Chains A and B, each alone.
Chain A
Amino acid sequence: MNKTDSLYNMAKVLRSKNSGPFELTFDVIFDNPAYYELVKRSDVINRETICRLYGLKPEDISHLVFYDPALAVKITIKRPVDSGSVGDTDVYGAQQHAPLMSLQVPLEG
């Protein structure tokens, strides 16, 4: 059986935040290059996963980019309600990351 670990355990930083009032951005940043490579190669973080976790349509995702110099992956999505507008529930967008935490990453490629 393949061993897995959660993204939360492997990442150094796992957060969400506004990128302007109309977008939300998720950063997953590693301090262990091996973990970063595992996650990048495993393709666990892809557009389908994000759509599934957040109930989104593919066009709601504006960027999903791995950034090697920072051992980071960034995902930017359209906000369901713009920041601070009527109906918004997280003005700074800083508490939208939790569904990513339990994503399971295979530890052997």
Chain B
Amino acid sequence: MDELKILSPCGILGYGFPKESFINGINRKPNVIAVDAGSTDAGPHKLGAGVGIVSERAVKKDLNLILTAGFELNIPVIIGSAGGAGAKPHVEWTMKIVREVVQEKQLKFKTAIIYSDVQKDYIREKMKENKILPLGPVPELSEEKLKITKSIVGQIGCEPIIEALQNGATLVVAGRTYDPAVFAALPIMHGFDPGLSYHLGKILECGALCAEPGTTKDCIIGYIRKDHFVVEPLNEKRKCYTTSVAAHTLYEKDHPYLLHGPGIQLDLSQCVFEQYGDGLVKVSGSKLIKPEKYRIKLEGSAQVGYRTLIIAGVRDPIMIDSIEEIKKEVEEQVRAYFDDIPGEDYRIIYHTYGKNGVMGMLEPVDTACHELGLVLEVVAKTQELANTICAAVRSTMLHFPYKGRKATAGNLAFLYSPSDIEFGPVYKFTVYHLVDVEDPCELARFEYLEL
């Protein structure tokens, strides 16, 4: 085999893509359709709450096209990080939609489901053996943290997907997966260079984001050959340039040319990006280094409280001038009034849009705009407490008699009635660690079924 063609319909399953682009892709007779469905980008909420960030209807719309094409071309379809965070509820949610599509379109797949949920006892054992390491600027994992953690997944590499494909799966629905692995699995299985395979996977994982104009909501195809790969956008409105493809190589990674994944390190320092005809880019020189130990990233999320928030504007220039003192004094008054509640049971957070709402502590500019958007946020142990404190912050700030005030009717322009918005549970990543595994498939649990 001299070449494999890998079709990536979009950046996240459920983001959607133009049908025409997809048909262009299908006309190029791809050997596999692969799509990533998740990310930690949207924060810890998805994993903790077991929900996704795309709608069921949108996923179904995408799967209608993808599964039908996969079945008709008789090529495998691979979905990674199913349902957004790739834990069991996310995989099951995806499978429910897959079943509907298969039934309605009368398709047939030998399906492999790969769960990658991780049990706490497994982690406890690994902790004893010193085989759990923080990933980046993350605190050591403690029993206390583990105890409150709701859901933990391991980010699998291409090996479990290859195992599923070798067992004859024509549809692979995997839990949390290293994004590039869904694209790299088939080429690696067929003996293509793993460095090129993973690098191509990295480029394809966001759909047409590596093209110009870039978007995650359009299709792209990759051609892997012996010593290089080529990427081609499938919409005539987009073109790949060496700069856009190189730019995507660095995207969301901590280092520009040393990329880490499950059981791999990519060294892209010697890569060559070349323009390959109009709108296509050729890449060579990507190298894969197998680290001594096979390490898998673990992600775990815990509920840390409940949130209530209020959105309000401020236009009075005197108030804007003294906003910092007002925020401080309002908090002091609220805390003094509720001196019967332990102070650590809640946090009051002010987001001041028009001043430093976006960058917070990183903001170097200290001047405020002529109007401010305030988000008054309270996170507390219970929803009731969050509601209580937030209401007190609101009423205190609304009538706070700041120095020089002439607008004595009220200090806040509420956006909504009612003003207080009950947000519900709030989560945090408590596990973001690496685990040493003996076997790349150690965290994968396979289930095969005929659909």
Asked whether, in the complex, the Cβ of A25 is within 8 Å of the Cβ of B426, the reply is no
Which A residues between 57 and 109 are near B, CB-CB below 8 angstroms? Answer: 62-63, 65-67, 69-74, 76, 78-92, 95-96, 98-99
Asked whether, in the complex, the Cβ of B361 is within 8 Å of the Cβ of A70, the reply is no
- Interface code A13-55, partner B: CB below 8 Å = 1, 0 otherwise? 1000111111101010111000000000000000000000111
**Residue in B40, B44, B252, B269 whose Cβ sees the most chain A Cβ within 10 Å:** B252
- Write the nearest CB–CB distance from A68 to chain B, whole angstroms: 9
Asked whether, in the complex, the Cβ of B41 is within 8 Å of the Cβ of A72, the reply is no
Stretch at the interface among B10-18, B73-81, B241-249: B241-249
Asked whether, in the complex, the Cβ of B429 is within 8 Å of the Cβ of A82, the reply is yes
Tell me the nearest residue of chain B to A80, going by C-beta. Answer: B361
Tell me the nearest residue of chain B to A63, going by C-beta. Answer: B255
- Write the nearest CB–CB distance from B23 to chain A, whole angstroms: 30
Tell me the nearest residue of chain B to A84, going by C-beta. Answer: B43
Which B residues between 414 and 429 are near A, CB-CB below 8 angstroms? Answer: 426-429
- Write the nearest CB–CB distance from A18 to chain B, whole angstroms: 6
Given A17-B252, A18-B252, A54-B364, A95-B41 contact (CB < 8 Å):
no
Tell me the nearest residue of chain B to A25, going by C-beta. Answer: B254
Asked whether, in the complex, the Cβ of A72 is within 8 Å of the Cβ of B349, the reply is no
Q: Is B317 at the interface (CB under 8 A from chain A)?
A: no
Q: Is B359 at the interface (CB under 8 A from chain A)?
A: yes
Asked whether, in the complex, the Cβ of A69 is within 8 Å of the Cβ of B269, the reply is yes
A82 to B364, CA, bound (A): 20
- Write the nearest CB–CB distance from B381 to chain A, whole angstroms: 12
Given A27-B250, A86-B347, A55-B362 contact (CB < 8 Å):
yes
- Write the nearest CB–CB distance from A52 to chain B, whole angstroms: 8
A71 to B162, CA, bound (A): 35
Q: Is B404 at the interface (CB under 8 A from chain A)?
A: no
Q: Is B136 at the interface (CB under 8 A from chain A)?
A: yes
Tell me the nearest residue of chain A to B46, going by C-beta. Answer: A84
Asked whether, in the complex, the Cβ of A83 is within 8 Å of the Cβ of B41, the reply is yes
Tell me the nearest residue of chain A to B429, going by C-beta. Answer: A21
Asked whether, in the complex, the Cβ of A89 is within 8 Å of the Cβ of B254, the reply is no
A31 to B273, CA, bound (A): 12
Q: Is B318 at the interface (CB under 8 A from chain A)?
A: no
Tell me the nearest residue of chain B to A83, going by C-beta. Answer: B43
A93 to B166, CA, bound (A): 39
Asked whether, in the complex, the Cβ of B360 is within 8 Å of the Cβ of A22, the reply is no
Q: Is B42 at the interface (CB under 8 A from chain A)?
A: yes
A87 to B350, CA, bound (A): 9
Instruction: Give the chain A neighbours of B272 by CB distance below 8 A.
Output: 69
Q: Is B379 at the interface (CB under 8 A from chain A)?
A: yes
Instruction: Give the chain B neighbours of A21 by CB distance below 8 A.
Output: 40, 43-44, 429, 432
- Interface code B23-43, partner A: CB below 8 Å = 1, 0 otherwise? 000000000000000001111
Instruction: Give the chain B neighbours of A74 by CB distance below 8 A.
Output: 250, 253, 255-256
Q: Is B320 at the interface (CB under 8 A from chain A)?
A: no
Tell me the nearest residue of chain B to A77, going by C-beta. Answer: B362
- Write the nearest CB–CB distance from A26 to chain B, whole angstroms: 10
A87 to B426, CA, bound (A): 11
Asked whether, in the complex, the Cβ of A89 is within 8 Å of the Cβ of B358, the reply is yes
Which B residues between 346 and 375 are near A, CB-CB below 8 angstroms? Answer: 347, 349, 351, 357-362, 364-365
Asked whether, in the complex, the Cβ of A65 is within 8 Å of the Cβ of B359, the reply is no
Tell me the nearest residue of chain B to A73, going by C-beta. Answer: B256
Task: Mark A residues whose CB is within 8 Å of B.
Answer: 12-13, 17-23, 25, 27, 29-31, 53-56, 62-63, 65-67, 69-74, 76, 78-92, 95-96, 98-99
Subset of 8 A-B contacts with CB under 8 Å:
A19-B252, A21-B429, A23-B254, A54-B364, A70-B246, A73-B256, A83-B44, A88-B43
